Amino acid sequence: MPKYKPKDSSQSPRFVGNRTFMRLEQVRTTDDIDFAVLGVPFDTAASNRTGQRLGPQHIRDFSVLLRPYNPDMDIDIFEYCSGVDYGDINVIPGNALRTYDSIVEGLTPLLEKNVIPVIMGGDHSITLGNLRAFHKKYGKIALVHFDSHGDTWEHYYGEKYMHGTPFRRAAEEGLLDMEHSIQVGMRGPLYGPGDIEDARDLGFEVITMKEIRQIGFDEVMRRIHDRVKDRPVFVTYDIDFVDPAFAPGTGTPEVGGPTSYEALEYVRGLDGLDVVGFDLVEVLPAYDANEITAVLASAVIYEMITLVALKKRRQMEERKRLLLQFEAIKDV
């Protein structure tokens, strides 16, 4: 049986105790766990609104409403998974490069034990630090990137390490398996056509929001799976991928995006990929009217954790099948 699971909110009121993600135990351990939820509260590489440093705790505060059984995927997560709230990684406000070093240092013990990190930002610049850590473990890694912006600009204000530049830097540093990486959801006003084409020139497949509406959800998911194939993949999810009617609490909102239901379906549709890590970024509490962004962000992370449980269930079923096959051979 899994060692770590949430408190039972039918036995203990949700407003009792520390506010951890989903009421998981806050334990900094790499033993007996399949996933760890952790925060990276860094926001001083944002170009517009700031306050994303408060995102991890904002998401935790609302996540206490989550329950262990996911009816849409028909699985009780903690029948198959053990997980903890790992706390936050130390960051250095105003210094992205030293923060990246801290992220690598913080994620490495988890990755060495094959624990799947589920990371809450923070602005999107933190993903470069995440990818550096994953590169140490996996080498070049595939990327599925949900966002309204490509974040492949050369610089902002002459600065190369901003929340609008991480995926250009990741490509330049050789962190990504570009032939198996894809960006989904790009939309809104740009500085020029190069803002989309630059990502394609770097090697990303790009599906804009306009194209999503033309080809439909099923075709988008088929293209994601066809692109990634069986490669280890990191999933990065900017909450501004979602229309601001459903996620107003973010730094650079863009209208014309998915609904909250569609936002969850895009994560559910990743089932079957070899997902080895996740992040969700750019939640900004100060602009989150009635906490609806926190509701959605916690639900997206819940679906990410569900993918871990589904993967674990398949592995357990395969081991059981092989064991039965072996026993049958012995009896012959």
Does residue 147 have a known ligand-binding role? yes
Q: What are phi and psi of 276, to 5 degrees?
A: -115, -5
Q: What is the β-pairing status of strands 232-238 and 75-76? A: unpaired
Helices (H) and strands (E) in the chain, counts: 10, 10
- Beta strand 182-186 with 142-146 is parallel
Angle (CA) 59-64-65 rounded to 5° is: 105
Q: Is 115 in contact with 34 (CB distance < 8 Å)?
A: yes
Task: Give the span between the Cα atoms of 265 and 241, in whole angstroms.
Answer: 13
257-284 core/surface letters (b: 16 or more CB in 10 A; e: else): bbebeebbebbbbbbebebbbbbbbbbb
Question: Is residue 124 part of an annotated ligand binding site?
Answer: yes
Residue 221 region, left (φ>0) first, then alpha (ψ -120 to 50), else beta?
A: alpha
DSSP at 63: H
Please answer whether residues 249 and 283 qualify as being in contact, where contact means their C-beta atoms are separated by less than 8 angstroms: yes
Distance between alpha carbon 297 and the CA centroid of its chain, in Å?
Answer: 10
The response to whether 240 counts as a known ligand-binding position is yes
The response to whether 145 counts as a known ligand-binding position is no
CA distances from 62 to 99, 112, 165, 166, 301 (A): 26, 31, 30, 28, 12
Residues of the chain by 3-state class (helix, strand, coil), percent to 5: 45, 15, 40
Q: Is 288 annotated as a binding residue?
A: no
8 A C-beta contact, residue 96 and residue 165: no
Answer yes or no: is 177 a known binding residue: no
Tell me the binding residues.
Answer: 124, 147, 149, 151, 238, 240
Tell me the binding residues for Mn(2+).
Answer: 124, 147, 149, 151, 238, 240
